[in-house]
């Protein structure tokens, strides 16, 4: 597998190189078959460096998860757009979209495998709860701003954010675990919902 | 763990008893740590029966998955209700609800762990695709019926079904893997969406 766009061709430091090695190993072997040894094999520098930094597979994977979720959050949140409508569009374009590039699809599969660990492991659960709150606040804030500006109707920003984030999570789950290709259709309905419920009538 | 309501106290046959043993073992040990040996330990009859029926853990788990998804589908689809509004309400009450009983929460955790396997395993993917299509058709059919009767507005039944099923999947993922408790709020927004978009004005 060629280096995913998620990582620059030239890792900034040893930590980033280790995260990239973890990502490659996870894409190749999946969570259940992953060992710290296999991660070491993907690492261009000395394998012993990986053992030196982490006590085991789960310590390394949790560090990886924090790193990746922060990258993903930065991508979605720091779009450079000012306008609430553009910021909302950007969240939706990055999350509720089909088809995915092979790189994106691979990233989502990896994230779903790790996310399933959160069903039973509190440390994983804490990471995913943290990132959901971050996304929630981002969406609720842009809604609040749009309401203040009069671009959006006077909806409950937290309630609409909860609804949208549930749709985003459902998209990720369906796209990674089924072949039914229903996202394009769900997205069309979402556009109708946003138009009817959110977009204020233009004078 | 006491026998979950999902199973009767008196399994109808050996197959059902084996499925219950698998469910208990999965709840106790999780997918990654599960072995066919551990399933055998939960089985009240001879352990060798399990080995006799299945070649390995994944063959048994796929059979279990088919069994459980069919039960779950039956519960949601065969509600005894005739009216499209009641049938839709019943789907939503069974899927987008909070808080969950410990038994339901446990069932969902188990399903999410198996569903994550579908990210990389085509046999799991096939099962989850099959069940998504079943739910989709159930929802689209009841919408179609409601539109014909004039209870629902003239929406695109497949598009609305895709949207609702994505919300249902998102609910399952969020509830099992995060602690943010956002489902009550998402559900309130869903009621508004249904009222605005679907329910025909009464004369």
Q: Convert chain B into a string of H (helix), E (strand) and C (coil).
A: CCCCCCCCCCCCCHHHHHHHHHHHHHHHHCCCCCCHHHHHHHCCCCHHHHHHHCCCHHHHHHHHHHHHHHHHHHHHHCCCCCCHHHHHHHHHHHHCCCCCCHHHHHHHHHHHHHHHHCCCCHHHHHHHHHHHHHHHHHHHHHHHHHHHHCCECCCCHHHHHHHHHHHHHHHHHHHHHCCCCCHHHHHHHHHHHHHHHCECCCC
Alpha-carbon distance of B45 to A7, in angstroms, equals 53
Give yes or no for residue A16 having a pLDDT over 50.
yes
3-state helix, strand, coil in chain A (%, to 5): 70, 0, 30
Give chain B positions within 8 Å (CB) of A188.
159
* B99: preceding bond cis by omega (within 30 degrees): yes
Interface probe for B, chosen from A128, A162, A191 (most Cβ of B below 10 Å), is A162
A172 close to A111: Cβ distance less than 8 angstroms: yes
Task: Give the pLDDT of residue A3.
Answer: 37
Of residues B31, B118, B169, nearest to A170 (C-beta)? B169
Inter-chain CB proximity B119 and A136 less than 8 Å: no
A7: helix, coil or strand?
coil
The pLDDT of residue B150: 96
For chains A and B, count residue pairs whose Cβ atoms are closer than 8 Å: 160
- Ramachandran angles phi, psi of B146, nearest 5°: -65, -35
CB contact under 8 A, A163 and B165: no
What does the alpha-carbon distance between residue A112 and residue A123 come to, in Å, rounded to a whole number? 15
Q: What is the DSSP letter of A103?
A: H
The Cα B200–Cα A61 span in angstroms is 50
Q: Report the alpha-carbon distance of residue B166 to residue A177 in Å, rounded.
A: 12
Instruction: Give me the residue from A30, A174, A185 closest to B169, CB to CB.
Output: A174
Tens digits of residue pLDDT in B162-183: 999 999 999 999 999 999 889 9
How far apart are alpha carbons A49 and A40 in whole angstroms?
A: 8
State pTM to two decimals: 0.92
- Least confident residue range of A181-190, B67-76, B176-185: B67-76
Tokens, residue B194 = 């249904």
Burial track A91-116 (b if 16+ CB lie within 10 A, e otherwise): bbeebbeeeeeeebebbbbbbbbbbb
Q: How far is CA A11 from CA A54, A84, B24, B126, in A?
A: 19, 33, 45, 38
Return d(Cα A138, Cα A107) in angstroms, integer. Answer: 22
Angle in degrees, CA A181, A187, A192, rounded to 5 = 145
DSSP assignment, residue A155?
-
Determine the average pLDDT of the residues in A153-159.
Answer: 98
**What is the C-alpha to C-alpha distance for residues A188 and A174, in angstroms, rounded to an integer?**
16
Q: What is the pLDDT of residues B8-52, one digit of tens each?
A: 667 778 888 899 999 988 888 888 788 888 888 888 777 788 888
Of the candidates A120, A189, A197, which has its C-beta nearest B162's C-beta?
A189
CB contacts, 8 Å: A119 with chain B: 30, 109, 112-113, 176-177
Can you say how many angstroms the Cα of residue A12 is from the centroid of all Cα atoms in its chain?
22
pLDDT reading at A6 higher than 90? no
Whether residue A99 is preceded by a cis peptide bond, meaning omega within 30 degrees of 0, is yes
Nearest CB to A196; choose among B179, B180, B197: B197
Q: What is the pLDDT of residue A5?
A: 62
Do B138 and B76 meet the contact criterion of CB atoms below 8 Å apart?
Answer: yes
DSSP state of A181: -
**How far apart (Å, rounded) are the C-alpha atoms in residues B41 and B141?**
43
Residue A111 has pLDDT above 70, yes or no: yes
Predicted confidence at residue B197, as pLDDT, reads: 96
Chain B residues with beta carbon closer than 8 angstroms to that of A123: none
Residue that wins the pLDDT comparison between B127 and A103: B127
* Phi, psi of B152, rounded to the nearest 5 degrees: -110, 155
Terminal alpha carbon distance of chain A: 53
Angstrom distance (rounded) from CA B90 to CA B76: 7
Q: Identify the band that residue A1 occupies on the pLDDT scale cut at 50, 70 and 90.
A: very low
Higher local confidence (pLDDT), B157 or A39: B157
């Amino acid at each position: 597998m060629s280096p995913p766009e998620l990582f620059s061709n030239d890792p900034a430091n040893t930590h980033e190189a280790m995260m990239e090695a973890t990502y490659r190993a996870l894409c190749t072997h999946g969570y259940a078959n992953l060992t710290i040894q296999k991660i070491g094999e993907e690492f261009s520098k000395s394998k012993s460096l990986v053992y030196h930094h982490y006590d085991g597979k789960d310590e390394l994977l949790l560090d990886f998860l924090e790193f990746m979720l922060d990258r993903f959050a930065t991508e979605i949140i720091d779009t450079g757009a000012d306008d609430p409508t553009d910021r909302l569009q950007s969240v939706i374009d990055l999350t509720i979209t089909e088809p995915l590039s092979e790189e994106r699809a691979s990233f989502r599969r990896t994230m779903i495998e790790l996310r399933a660990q959160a069903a039973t492991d509190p440390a994983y659960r804490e990471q995913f709860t943290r990132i959901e709150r971050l996304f929630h606040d981002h969406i609720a804030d842009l809604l609040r701003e749009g309401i203040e500006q009069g671009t959006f109707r006077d909806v409950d920003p937290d309630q609409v954010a909860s609804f949208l984030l549930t749709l985003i999570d459902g998209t990720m789950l369906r796209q990674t675990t089924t072949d039914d290709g229903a996202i394009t259709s769900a997205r069309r309905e979402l556009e109708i919902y946003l138009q009817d419920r959110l977009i204020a009538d233009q004078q």
